[in-house]
Structure 1
Amino acid sequence: MLELLKDRTYIRYWLAVVASFLGDAITKITLIYVVATETSNPVLYVSLVVIAQLLPSGVLGAFVGPLADRFPARGLMVGSDLVRVALVLAMIPVRDSPLLLLVLILLTGIAKAFFETARITAIPLIVRGHSIPTAVALFQSTNHTLNLVGPALGGLLLAFGSVSAVFVIDAATFVVSAVLLGSMAVLREVPVPGPNSGRESYWKSLGTGISGVLAVPSLRFLAVILVPVMLVLGLFTTNLNSQLLSVFDLSAFNFGLAQAAFGAGCVIGALTGPPLVRRFSDRGLLIGSIVLFGVSLLLLAPTGWLRDSLGDQLGLSVVLAWCLVAGIGSGLFQVPVANTLISDLPEELRGRGVGLLNALMVNFTIVGVVLGGLAADLMGIAASIIVAGGLLLPAAAVLAAASVRNRNKTEAEAGVAS
C-alpha cells in the first residue's frame, strides 16, 4: 500500500476521488437535513431523497457501460463533476421546493452513475505495476472512512454556517476533483475496442457486453452470489439504525460510537482483504466473507441478551463489538467482489461489465431496503436481521457446493484432454 501512496499518478487520482466522495457525503446529509426540517412530511421526503440518490445508478448503470467502453474515462469523470457543480449550486434557490429539489437530486444521481462507472473502469490504468486488490482495499477503506467523516463534517457545517454555504462547499469539492482528474494524461487513453465494436450500434454493443460478461465463469458466479447478499445488505442497512436507536435505545453519543465501530469494522475488513486475496481464491474469499457476514447478523441474538444482562457499560461494549464484527464482514466482502470484477473483465468489456454488475448490486440493495421495512413490521427489527443472516448461510453452502462441483468437472475435463 505504501508503494501506491508514493505513486504521484495514483495520489492525484486518489485525492480526486476523495474530494468527489466527500462532496457526495456532505450533500447527502445536507439534503436530508433540508427536507427533514423544511417540508410538511419529513419522513416521506427523506425516503424519497434516499431513493432518488440510489435509483439512477441502479436504473442507468448498465446503460452507461457502453459509453465507458467507447470514450476516455477523463471526459466522463470530469464532465460528471462539472455537471454536479451546476446541479448542487442550482439547489440553493430551490431548497424550499421539494419537488424541484428531488428532480435535481435525480439528475445528480445520473451524473454520479457516469462518474462511478468510469472511475471503476479506470482503476487498471491508474494502478499499472501495482496490486489491484491493494488499490481496491485502499479505495474501499477510504470510502468507508468518508462515509463517517462526511456526514459529521456536513453536520458541523450546518451547525456553524448556512445551508447555502454548505452547498457552495459541496460544489467546490467537485471542482477540485475535476481539476485533478483533468490533469491526468493516463485518463485520456481511448478504451481498447473489441472485435467489430466500431461497427456496432449502441444497443448492439449493450447486448454484446451483457452476453460477454455472463460468458466469463467467475463473473457469472459473481452475478449469482450478489443477489442474496445485496438483498440482505439492503435489509441490514435499513434496520441497523432502528436496531440501535429503537431496540437498544442508545443515546445520541452512544449511537455515534456504534456507527463509528461499524465503520471501523468496514475499514478493517477492506484492509484485511488484499493479504487474504493473495492466500485464497476470490471465489473462496467471497463465500467465506458471506459466511462471516451471516454469522455476524446471527450474533445479534446473543448480543441483545448480553446487553440486557450486563448493564449499561458492559452492555454497550457488547453492542460495539457486534457492530465491529458486522462491519468487518461487510467490508471484507467488497474486496473480492471488486477484485474479481476488475481483474476478470476483458478489457474491451470493462465499462459494460462494471455498469452491469454495479446496477445489479444497487437494484437488489434497493429491493432489500424495501423488504427490510416490511420484514421489520412483520417480525420485528431484531428478528428480521437475524433471519436475514440465517438465510445467508445456506445460500453460501449452495454456492460453495456448486463451486466445488464446477472445479471437479473442470479438473476431470482437463484430465481427459491430457
Structure 2
Amino acid sequence: MRELLRDRVYLRYWLAVVVSYLGDGIAKVTVVYVAATLTGAPALFIAAVVIAQLLPSGVLGTFIGPLVDRMSPRALLVGADLARFAIVLAMIPAVRSAPLLLALIFLEGVGKSVFETARMAAIPKVVGGHSLPSAIALFQSTVQALNLIGPLAGGILIAAVGVRASFVVDAVTFVASAVLLGSLAVLRGATVTAAGPGQYWRSLREGITGALRIPSLRVLAWMMVPVMVAIGLFTTNVNTQLLVTFGLPAFDFGLAQAMLGGGAVLGAFSGPALVRRLPLTRLLAAAVGLFAVSLLVLWPIDHRWPAGGVALACAWCALAGLGMSLVQVPVANILLHDLPDELRGRGIALLNALMVNCTVAGVLLGGLVATWAGVPTSIVVTGAVLLVPAVALALGTRPARAGSVR
C-alpha cells in the first residue's frame, strides 16, 4: 500500500476522499445534535434525518448510473462537492427550521450519492498499474478510521465553536476535496455509452440488464439482500445492547465502539491477502459466515453477563466489526473486477441502491423486532438466519483460482 501513497495521482485522490469523509462525519454529528434539540420529538426527528440521508442513494442511486458512464468523473465529483458546499452553508440559517433542514439534508444526500457512485467507478482510472485489491483495502481502512475520527471531530467543533461554525468547517472540507479532485487530469475522460436526446432511458435499461447478465453480479445481488438487512438491524440495536442491556458506562461504551471500528480496520487491511488466496465468491461466503457467527456468539455472552466484563463486550464488538468489514472486501473487488468499463457506473449504482434500500429495511425491522423479542434475541436470530445463505453460497461455489469469481 505504501507505493500507492507515493503515487502523486493516487495521493491526491486519497486526500480528497479523506477530507470529504471527514466533512461527512462532522455533518452527521452536527445535524443529529441539531435534530436532538430542535423539536419536541427528537427521536422521531433523528430517525427522519437518518432516512433522509440514506433515501437518495436508495431511491435515486440506480438513475445516477447512466450519468456516471456518460460524463467525466472529474466533472461529477467536483460538481457534487461544490453542490454540497452550497447546501451545507444553507443549513446555517436553517438550524431553527426542522422542515427546511430536513429538505437540505435530503439534497446533501443526493450529492453524496452522485459523489460515491462516480468515486467508486473512477478507482481503476486512478489506480492505474497498481494493485486494485490494495487500493480497495487502503480506501476501506481509511473510511473505517474516518468513521471514528469524523464524529469525534464534529463533537469537539460543536463544543468549541458552536453549530454554525461547524457547518462552515464542514463546507470548507468539500471545497478542499473539489480542488484536489479537479487537479486530477486522469479523471477528465468519460466512458461514453448511448448518447444524444432520448437515450437516457435506453442506457439505464441496458445497464441494468447488462449487469444482471453477469453471473457473479447476480450472485452478489441476491446475497447482499439478507446481508444488508442484517447490517441495518445490527447497526440499529448494537448501541442499545451496549448501553442498556450490558449497561456500559460512557468510557466503556466508547471503548467498545472503538473496538468495533478497530475490527473493521483489521478486516480492510486483511483484504489483499485474502483476495490472493481465495476466489471472491468463496471469500464472500466466508465473510458473511463470520459476520453471522459474530452475531450468534452474543447469546452465550448475554446469557452469562456480566461474567467477562467489558473485555468480553469489546471482543464481541471487534469480531462483529471484522465480519462486517470483510464482507465489503469481495463486494468491492467483484464490482470493479467483473463489471466492464462501459457498465461500471450503472452496475455500481444499481448494487449501491439495492444495498442502501436493504439497510433501511434492516434499520426499520431492527426496531420492530427488538421491541417484540428483545435486543439480544433480535441480534442472535439475525445471525442464525444469515448463516443459511452463507452456507448455501459456500456449498454452491466450485473450487477456482484465487482472486477469481465462480
Q: Does 1:100 align with 2:94?
A: no
Deviations 1:211-247 (A, max 9, x none): 0000111111111110110010110010011111110
Tell whether the 8 Å contact from 1:68 to 1:351 is kept in structure 2 after alignment: yes
Deviations 1:81-100 (A, max 9, x none): 00001000000001000000
Structure 2 gap segments, 5+ residues each: 402-406
Deviations 1:378-405 (A, max 9, x none): 1100000000001111111222233349
Q: SS of the residue aligned with 2:71?
A: coil
Distance in 2, Cα, partners of 1:330 & 1:397: 17
| 2:306 equivalent in structure 1 | 308
Q: SS of the residue aligned with 1:69?
A: helix
Q: Does 1:272 align with 2:270?
A: yes
Q: Report the alpha carbon displacement of residue 38 of structure 1 after superposing the two structures with TM.
A: 2.3
Q: Report the alpha carbon displacement of residue 50 of structure 1 after superposing the two structures with TM.
A: 0.5
Q: Report the alpha carbon displacement of residue 41 of structure 1 after superposing the two structures with TM.
A: 1.1
Tell whether the 8 Å contact from 2:282 to 2:393 is kept in structure 1 after alignment: no
Distance in 2, Cα, partners of 1:257 & 1:308: 17
Tell whether the 8 Å contact from 1:18 to 1:142 is kept in structure 2 after alignment: yes
Amino acid at match of 2:265: V
Q: Report the alpha carbon displacement of residue 199 of structure 1 after superposing the two structures with TM.
A: 8.2
Deviations 1:332-369 (A, max 9, x none): 11011001001110100010001000001101000011
| 2:237 equivalent in structure 1 | 239
| 1:380 equivalent in structure 2 | 374
TM-score by length of 2: 0.96
| 2:404 equivalent in structure 1 | none
Q: Report the alpha carbon displacement of residue 197 of structure 1 after superposing the two structures with TM.
A: 5.7
**Residues 82-93 of structure 1 mapped to structure 2, 5 A cutoff:** 82-93=82-93
Q: Does 1:364 align with 2:358?
A: yes
Give the one of 284, 292, 295 matched to 1:294: 292
Deviations 1:49-86 (A, max 9, x none): 01101110111111000000000100000000000010
Distance in 2, Cα, partners of 1:58 & 1:272: 29
**Residues 1-400 of structure 1 mapped to structure 2, 5 A cutoff:** 1-191=1-191, 193-194=192-193, 201-309=199-307, 314-400=308-394
Deviations 1:299-323 (A, max 9, x none): 11122234323xxxx4100000010
Q: SS of the residue aligned with 2:128?
A: coil
| 1:412 equivalent in structure 2 | none
Distance in 2, Cα, partners of 1:405 & 1:73: 37
Structure 1 residue runs of 4+, over 6 Å off?
none
Distance in 2, Cα, partners of 1:307 & 1:188: 56
Tell whether the 8 Å contact from 1:38 to 1:96 is kept in structure 2 after alignment: yes
Q: Report the alpha carbon displacement of residue 133 of structure 1 after superposing the two structures with TM.
A: 1.0
Amino acid at match of 1:246: V
| 1:415 equivalent in structure 2 | none
Amino acid at match of 1:61: G
